[in-house]
Amino acid sequence: MTTPNPYAPPTAEVQDIYDPTGPLELAERGTRLAATIVDGVIFLALCYLPVVVVVAIGSASGQDTDTMVGAGFLAATAGFGVWCWLTIPRVIANGQSIAKKLLGIKVVRTDGSPASFGRIFWLRNLVNGVMAILPLYQLIDWLFIFGESRQCLHDKLADTMVVKA
């Protein structure tokens, strides 16, 4: 019988494993360190520098402390908003912060598939930040980069790795 059975269930080809177009090359440790430093400088410039400028201008003009605290808080909030506006769309689009984009690296899942914003934000950043209150955790997290997989502890927790873009 060569005619297809009209009562047969539909068939579909399902592929569960992400198949990247090319082999993934792990990012160098120094490049990851440089990206962390550059991202930190960008964050400081956008969130803390406005506070310093507002306080300096207010002190020079003789403003009272309450006014300075309020203006500094507003400046920091505005700077944080700008940082979010610059960073979040890039992380959602391709797993790259501003510095990672500049240095040509990105965050992906260990199977090579794109890492979701939730995975990057919640597991790599928030959970890691909360765990950083534990003594020596941050040092242990950083030392994991010297393993063969070049994954920090926060990468292992989030099932991610940093590769060349």
pLDDT digits (tens, 9 = 90+) for 125-134: 899 989 999 9
Quick one: pLDDT at residue 18? 58
- In this structure, is residue 5 part of a structural domain? no
Q: Which residue has the tokens 């403003």?
A: 63
Model confidence at 138: pLDDT above 80: yes
Stated pTM of the model: 0.80
- In this structure, is residue 1 part of a structural domain? no
Cβ-contact 47, 131 below 8 angstroms: no
The helix (H) or strand (E) run that includes residue 108 is: strand 105-109
Cβ-contact 120, 91 below 8 angstroms: yes
Phi, psi of 160 (to 5 degrees): -125, 170
Cβ-contact 72, 51 below 8 angstroms: yes
Strand partners, 26: 163
Model confidence at 3: pLDDT above 90: no
Phi, psi of 29 (to 5 degrees): -60, -40
- In this structure, is residue 145 part of a structural domain? yes
- In this structure, is residue 81 part of a structural domain? yes
Residue 74 belongs to domain spanning:
29-164
Quick one: pLDDT at residue 58? 85
- In this structure, is residue 119 part of a structural domain? yes
How far is it, in rounded angstroms, from Cα 162 to Cα 112?
10
Domain count of the fold of the chain: 1
